[in-house]
Amino acid sequence: MCGIVAILEVGRAGSVSRGLLDRMAQAIAHRGPDEQGLWVEGPIGLAAQRLRVVDLATGQQPLANEDGSIRLVANGEIYNADALRRALLAGGHRFASRTDTEVILHAYEDDGPACLDRLEGMFAFALWDGPRRRLVLARDRFGEKPLYYARLPHAFLLASELKALLVHPDVSRELDSRALVHYLAHEYVPAPHAIFRAVRKLPPAHYMTVEADGTETIERYWTPPRPTGAAPSAPEAAEEVVGRLRRSVASRVLCDVPWGCLLSGGIDSSLVTALAAEASSAPVKTFAIGFDEPTYDERRYAAAASRRFGTEHHETVVRGEDAAGLLPEVARVFDEPFADASSLPAVLLSRLAREQVTVVLSGDGGDELFCGYPTQTAHRAAEAYRRLPRLARRAVAAAAERLPTSHRYMSFDFALRRFLRDAARPAVERHLRWMGSFPPEGQARLLAAEAQREARLADPYATAREAVAAWGPETASDVATALDLLFYLADDNLVQADRASMSVALEVRAPFLDRAVAEYALRLPAVLRRGLWRTKPLLRRAARSLLPAPIWRRPKHGFGVPTGAWLRGPLRQLAVELLEPGRLRRQGLFDPPYVSALLDRHLRGVANHRKELWTLLMFELWAGAYLGG
């Protein structure tokens, strides 16, 4: 695992500055504190900050092919490296190390960018093809590893994190107003956008080539499959899923450093832990985090799973009193505004795990592949709700508004109001509105006049509509799966997993995102993966022989954070200070009276605006770190 950086000088003579390249790499040294490597030759410079996980003795980056004409820096792990190495050796290649990363180099020599189809793993890399005077960059299929880039008049830059690009003196910090619109709508900035106008993100499952003269091309190399062929029975499918997941876990526990599992006590992480315990000759180290607010706390389920599998269990607790001091650190970790509140416990959980291990396995991807989110069943309810007479819908909505406000986990009043507000809309829009904070009409009230003019009323849902149309969904549940996989997983969950873990040089591996597991799941008829009113029926069936019944039977419990209560309690002062009208007026982005009204209603307990206020709070903390206020 590494942090990588590259500079390609375009259209002018001279050599890349080693000093600048070194400073950019040092900005992400937390990703790879074990060693640094730099290579500069004329207009191209590559650098890597390495975290040694496989082959602790050799494998220093940048790597070179046999004659030194091709150079590579890469972040991630290639899980089928042994099989690829054997094939490449049989083809006449010579290896200088045991590191998994070197197979990328030699596979590219044989196949060019088509080698991406042979790689199974998580990765982001930059490769300098000397004979063709071409820079090639690529990301893995689901987006586990990040890659930012910036085009300058005379240079092309790339890095694992945005903060490395900002070291370059010519990268502007001018806010991208359209990216701001996306952030306010989704609570994250989706690829290819980035919060600064000069920067972009390479989307998952894409590669990019940059020629010596600056010419660029971007191509998709993999598309998630759709259901095809005859469907197996549910028992057959469950057995196949377990078999594929078992092989995936076995490949992901192979490393030369201590490893463990993140264990929430839910089905996904418990399944991974069960299979990891099978593959390990020693007790597996497991890590959990909880809250002092009981309805949000899952530690008892994690402890039950730990006892079942005989793990060495470690846990910690997040308290609202600690959040005010930690949130500015979290905002700096993520580089862009990021309003998924679970980023705070994710950072703390990573710190806990890093005290014991260098690699952890997670349950990421299980919900997206096996219809695990409550929105799956909510879409079914919405289709029924849309068929009700208008007067009946109005009566239900009026009754919902009279419910008292609660800040418990997934409180009935909060969930019902959000459901009703958008249930009658088309599936793509209602899904994104349910998941996000400020829809277009909310942004029209929130954004100051100048900010609205700059954003030119960008449609935050347009890209998602196009992506879903290309997916070809047949039902609202299919729409939800497409959006969860292409956007929420890639731009929220995996961003969180990478930044939180790599802030302390912890490598997270996600067995559910193994290509064999994911493609099998996605080719199954949706009716096998989704339930009528219950989430993840197929995975629950698969888990019966491995997990205690209280775990596989329990309802979905997301990685929720009691932000609503915190904003009225230990975070009240921080919110009041950051959203103070004079401060917002000087900033010029948000309408102070509108924001004050949101905050006032929440603090008085007459409304639950936790999502909207958290989105604004995290933006202001990010602005303080990256815009100077």
Tell me the sheet residues that pair with 316. Answer: 289
Beta carbons within 10 angstroms of residue 371's beta carbon: 26
Q: What angle do CA 322, 323, 324 make, to 5 degrees?
A: 100
Q: What angle do CA 90, 92, 95 make, to 5 degrees?
A: 95
Sign (positive/negative) of CA torsion 469, 473, 479, 482? Answer: negative
The residues annotated with a catalytic role in the active site are 2
Cα 338 from Cα 370, distance rounded (Å): 25
Cα 238 from Cα 9, distance rounded (Å): 52
Contact (Cβ atoms closer than 8 angstroms) between residue 80 and residue 62: no
Tell me the sheet residues that pair with 63. Answer: 72
Contact (Cβ atoms closer than 8 angstroms) between residue 72 and residue 124: no
Residue with token string 């919405």? 382
Helix (H, G, I), strand (E, B) or coil at 315: strand
How far are the Cα atoms of 159, 184, 408, 571, 581 from residue 601, in angstroms, in the given order? 42, 20, 17, 16, 16
Cα 190 from Cα 194, distance rounded (Å): 7
User: Which string of DSSP letters, residue by residue, matches 243-270?
Assistant: HHHHHHHHHHS--SS-EEEE--SSHHHH
- Please choose, from the candidates 562, 99, 490, 594, the residue with its C-alpha nearest in 3D space to the C-alpha of residue 290: 562
Question: How many residues belong to the chain?
Answer: 629
Reduced to 3 DSSP states, what percent helix, strand and coil does the chain have, rounded to the nearest 5? 50, 15, 35
How far are the Cα atoms of 237, 377, 417, 432, 611 from residue 397, in angstroms, in the given order? 41, 19, 7, 20, 20
In degrees and rounded to multiples of 5, residue 79 shows phi and psi of -80, -20
> According to DSSP H, which parts of 355-459 are helical?
366-369, 374-386, 390-401, 412-422, 427-435, 440-446, 449-455
Contact (Cβ atoms closer than 8 angstroms) between residue 263 and residue 288: yes
- Please choose, from the candidates 626, 63, 3, the residue with its C-alpha nearest in 3D space to the C-alpha of residue 332: 626
Q: State the DSSP H helix or E strand holding residue 615, giving kind and residue range, or none if neither.
A: helix 610-626
How far are the Cα atoms of 89, 104, 387, 396, 617 from residue 94, in angstroms, in the given order? 6, 13, 66, 70, 53
Beta carbons within 10 angstroms of residue 606's beta carbon: 11
The beta strand positions in 449-520, using DSSP E, are 507-509
